[in-house]
Structure 1
Amino acid sequence: MRIFVAGGTGVVGRPLVEALVELGHEVTASTHRSENFSVVEALGARPALMNGLDDAAVRQAIMAAGPEVVINQITALSAPSRDYGKWLETTNRLRSEGTRSLIAAACEAGTRRVIAQSASFMTQPVGSGPTDESAPLYREAPEPIRSHIQANIAAEALVLDTPGIEGVVLRYGFLYGEGTAIGPGGEWATAIQSGELPIVGDGAGRYPFVHVRDAVSATVQAVDRGSPGIYNIVGDEPAPQAEWLPYLAEILGAPQPRRVSEKEAEEQVGGQAVYYGTQLPAASNAKAKAELGLNLAYPSWRQGFREVFS
C-alpha cells in the first residue's frame, strides 16, 4: 500500500515509518529539513521535502506520492516549552491551517484514508469516571489551552467531515519513551531530576500516558482497521499527578517533588498547570481495543517508566 507520512522524522513519525516499511508498504515520509533525507532513506522510505504550512509544497509532495493513505504526524513540539503558549503556536497552525492543506491535497490525489494525530487530554473536567471519545472537549478552558483545543477541534473536523475521505483521528495520551519529554534526557525527566516539576494542589489530575511504541502500533493498525472516527490511544491505567511524579522521581534517584498551590502554579507556570495537575480526567481506551485491535505492550505507566529509565 502507498502511504504518505507527514512528519516522518518526529518522535512518532520515525518509528512509524520504520514499522510500515517492515510490513511491506511503499512509504513516502516528509521532513521540512533536507538534511533529514538520509534518515528517511535509512528507514527504507522515500523522502519528501515539505513545510506543512506551505500549501504548494504540501500539494506537490502528496501528488507526487499518490498515496492511498495519508498519516499526519506533523507537530512543532520538539523545542523546549518554557513558554507554553508560544510553544504551541506553530503546532496550532499546523493542526488547523496545515490540516486543511493536507486534506485538500489528499482529496486531489485520490487518497482513501487520512489518519491524524490529536490529543486525549483536552476534555472537560467533569465527572469522576474515565472519559470516552464522545466526551465534550474543554472549549472554555483558560488560555493557552483553549487555543490548542480549538486547533485540535478544527483539525479533527477537517479529517472527519471531508466527503470521500475515511477520516481517523487518533487522540494520543501523554507520550513517553525514547525521544519524548518523558524519556532519557527529556525535558520533563530533566526537570524532575532537578526538582523543578512540582505537584499542583492535590495532584488529582489523571494523566493518560501512552508509550511511543504503543502509539506507533495503534497507528499501524489504523491503516486498514477501524471505522472512520475518533479513538483514544492511551494506556490502561490513569496516572494521578500525585502518584506518577513521586514514582518517576524515585526511579530517577531525584528528590521527591515539592508541592505548590493552584494559585502559585497559575502565577508561575500558567492555567494549564492547574488543569493538568488537578482537574484532568482519565481517558478510556475501550473503543480502540474493540475496533482497532489496540494491544498494549505497556498497559501500565508504572511498568513503562521503569523500563524506559532502566
Structure 2
Amino acid sequence: MRVFVAGGTGALGRRLVRQLVAHGHEVTATTRSAGKAGELAALGARPVVVDGLDGLGVGRAVAEAQPDAIVHQMTALAGVADLRHFDRWFATTNELRTTGTRHLLAAAQASGVEKVVAQSYTGWTNIRTGGPVKTEDDPLDPHPAKAQRESMAAVQFLERAVTGAPLTGIVLRYGNFYGPGASESMVELVRARRLPIIGRGTGVWSFIHLDDAATATVAAVERGTAGVYNVVDDDPAPVAEWLPHLAEAVGAKPPLRLPVWLARAAAGEVVVGWMTEGRGASNDRAKSELDWRPAWTSWRDGFRHGLTDVAEARP
C-alpha cells in the first residue's frame, strides 16, 4: 500500500514511518524542515518538504505520491508548556487541525485517496461528568476551560471533517503519550517536584506508549473502517495513583500535594480541571475492530521500563 504520512518527523511520526516501512508499505512522509528530510530517508520513506498550511504544496505532494491512504500526524508544539494560556500554546496545532485538515482532505479527494487516518486526543476533551472511563460514544466536554475553547473547537472540527468526508475517514483519539521524545518534560517536572497532586488527585488519565500508538495507527491504515477509536492502554487511573508511581519509577521524591484553591491561583483552571475532574478512556473498540492490543498494557510497567529506548527492555 502507498501511504502518505503528513508529519513524519514528530515523536510518533518517526515510529509510524518505521513501522509502516517494516510492514512493506511504500511511504511518503512530510516535514516542514529541509534539515529533517534525511531522517525520513534513513527510515525508508520518500521525504517531502512541505508546510501543512500550504494548500497548493500539500495538494501537489499528495498528487505526486498517489497514495492509497493519508495519515494526518501534523502538530506543532514546541518550547515550555503553557497550560494557563493553553489555546495560545496550541495555536499552530489548532490551525493544522483545521486548515491543515481541510488541505489534506481536499488533496485526498482530488487524487482519489480511499482512506484518511487522523490524529485526535482523548483526555481533557472528555466530558467531566458521569463515570470515570469514557467510550467513543460519550460526548466531548461541552464546557471546557476558557483557555481551551479554541483547542476543543479544533478537535471537534477535525473529527467531524474526517468522519464526514466521502472516503473512509478514521479518527484515532490517542491518550497521553509517553516514551522517548514524549515524556521527558513531565519526568523533569516530577523530579523537580513541580507536578503536584491537586486536591485528592481524582482526575482520571489514560496513557499510551508511542510504540503502541504507532502499531494502532498501522492497524487503522491496514484494516480500519470509518469511525472514531480511542487508542489507550488497559489501565485508566486517577492522578493520585499514577503520579506517585511515576515519581518512584524515575527515582524522584513523592509528589507534593496542593489544595484546589491554591492550585487554581498558581496554575489556573486547565491544570485544576485536568488533575481533579479528568476522565479516562476505554480501548474496547480499537481492540475489537482494529484487532489491536497495546504491548504496554499498563503505564505501571511502561513507566518503569518504557520511558527510554525500550527495544530490549520490554518484559
Q: TM-score, normalised by structure 2?
A: 0.94
Would you say the 8 A contact 1:2–1:66 is kept in 2? Answer: yes
1:239–1:301 contact (8 Å) kept in structure 2 = no
Aligned match of 1:260: 258
Question: Does the CA-based 8 Å contact 1:70-1:111 persist in structure 2?
Answer: yes
What is the match of residue 114 of structure 1?
Answer: 116
**2:291 alignment partner AA:** G
The 1-side partners of 2:208 and 2:34 are apart by 30
Distance in 1 separating the partners of 2:224 and 2:186: 33
1:207 CA displacement: 0.6
137, 151, 155: which one aligns with 1:152:
155
Once superposed, what is the RMSD of the aligned Cα atoms? 1.2
Corresponding residue for 2:311?
A: none
* Distance (Å, rounded) in 2 between the aligned partners of 1:62 and 1:70: 9
1:179 maps to which of 162, 178, 181: 181
d(CA) in 1 for partners of 2:274 and 2:179? 20
Q: Which runs of 5+ in 2 are unaligned?
A: 309-315
1:43 is aligned with what amino acid? L
How far apart, in 2, do the equivalents of 1:62 and 1:80 lie? Answer: 33
- How far apart in 2 are the matches of 1:15 and 1:78? 19
Alignment correspondent of 1:72: 72
Matches within 5 A, 1:218-229: 218-229=216-227
Match of 1:62 in 2: 62
Shift of 1:264: 2.3
Q: Which runs of 5+ in 1 are unaligned?
A: none
Q: Deviations over 1:105-143 (max 9, x none)?
A: 111011000000000111111112421001111132112
1:228-276, CA deviations, whole angstroms, 9 ceiling, x for partnerless residues?
0000000100121111111111122212111112232222222211121
- What are the superposed Cα offsets for residues 197-255 of structure 1, whole Å, 9 maximum, x if unpaired? 11111111111101111100000000121320000000100121111111111122212
| Larger displacement relative to structure 2 (150-159 or 254-263) | 254-263
Q: Give the alignment's TM-score, normalised by structure 1.
A: 0.95
Aligned equivalent of 1:279: 277
Number of residue pairs matched by the alignment:
305
* Counterparts in 2 of 1:309 and 1:13: CA distance versus 1, 3 Å: closer
Counterpart check, 1:124 vs 2:127:
yes
Paired-residue identity, %: 43
Are 2:234 and 1:236 aligned? yes
- Residue 309 of structure 1: how far off its partner (Å): 4.3
SS state at 2:172 partner:
strand
- Whichever residue aligns with residue 92 of structure 1, its letter is N
Q: Distance in 1 between matches of 2:4 and 2:100?
A: 15
Contact in 1 for aligned 2:2/2:68 (Cα 8 Å): yes
1:143 aligns with 2:141: no
Q: Is the 8 A contact 2:243 2:255 kept in 1?
A: yes
CA-CA distance at 1:298 after TM superposition: 0.5
SS in 1 for 2:133: coil
Q: Give the letter aligned to residue 203 of structure 1.
A: G
Q: Could you tell me whether the CA contact under 8 Å between 2:132 and 2:204 is conserved in 1?
A: no
Cα separation, 2, equivalents of 1:128 and 1:212: 27
CA distance in 2, matches of 1:85, 1:169: 21
SS in 2 for 1:223: helix
Q: CA deviation at 1:91?
A: 0.6
**1:90-101 pair list within 5 angstroms:** 90-101=92-103
Match for residue 28 of structure 1? 28
